[in-house]
Amino acid sequence: MSMLLLRNVTYSANGRKILERINMRFKEGMSYSILGPNGAGKSTLAYILMGVIKPSEGRVFMGDKDITELNITERAKLGINLLWQEPARYDGIAVEEYLTLGGKLNVDKEEVREVLEIVGLPYELYHSRFVDKSLSGGERKRVELASILLLKPKYAILDEPDSGLDITVTELIDRTLDYLKRIGTTIILITHHEDIAKKTEFSYFVCSGKVVRKGFSDEVVEYYKRACGRCPLLEVMRYGHQDGSSKGI
């Protein structure tokens, strides 16, 4: 069975330790959430899994293969893909062209139609639209999500998939997770929302750069609600240091 592993991963930036001795494993075909308040280091974990940044200490494995030194492109070829929290804009590229990598991706029109419908973008209205400033941030986020679905990755890292979206986000995430589970993708969902974390099978609760709790999602969510409900640091972690600076990546 294929497995993505973080082994004793530590990450420091600007003289500050953001992650400390993180150990996580993501088994093939399962759904996971990395849960924690804003500033806890969750997105940093996503970037390390994707190869955007390298850990200061520790290793990243895919099965028996050490992929710590592999970059984004090399990890994408292995089947690891990341839904960015802030989607990019691509002026001059139509939605369908973007989704099919300019026709290089071996998919047909009906597959493009299906993923656009899953993310709530009717094919007839969006396939020829350009991925530029004419699309709202929420629409670009949906296009980016559709591209992840069309790639059918082994591992899909969804960094705050609900950010920037409207009130239909619950149905959107349900449809997305159902599709990924159906095609056998391992889901790694990064969120600070308890209800979204509960949609996965297994959760890691991360706080101040450490794994505080791990286990079945329902159990971890209940612990998260109790622990964060009485934590004096929560407001600082949500809104930044008392001097106004942000915490984490």
For residue 232, the model assigns a pLDDT of: 56
- Specify whether the backbone of 2 is left (phi greater than 0), alpha (psi in -120 to 50) or beta: beta
Would you tell me the crossing angle of helices 137-151 and 109-118 to the nearest 10 degrees? Answer: 130
Pair 157, 185: CB distance under 8 Å: no
For residue 80, the model assigns a pLDDT of: 96
Highest mean pLDDT among 81-85, 158-162, 181-185: 181-185
Give per-residue pLDDT as tens, 5-14.
999 999 999 9
Give per-residue pLDDT as tens, 135-176.
888 888 899 999 999 999 999 999 988 776 665 678 889 999
Among 90-94, 124-128, 146-150, whose mean pLDDT is lowest?
90-94
For residue 162, the model assigns a pLDDT of: 75
Give the count of alpha carbons within 13 A of 48, CB side only.
30
- Tokens, residue 228: 């964060």
At residue 67, does pLDDT exceed 90? yes
Virtual CA dihedral for 58, 64, 68, 71, nearest 10 degrees? -160
Give per-residue pLDDT as tens, 211-241.
999 999 999 999 998 877 666 555 444 444 4
| Residue matched to tokens 């159902």 | 178
For residue 30, the model assigns a pLDDT of: 96
Pair 177, 208: CB distance under 8 Å: no
What share of the chain has pLDDT > 70, as a percent?
Answer: 87
Give per-residue pLDDT as tens, 102-118.
878 889 999 999 999 99
Domains in the chain, start-ordered, CATH in brackets? 3-239 (3.40.50.300)
For residue 244, the model assigns a pLDDT of: 36
For residue 166, the model assigns a pLDDT of: 60
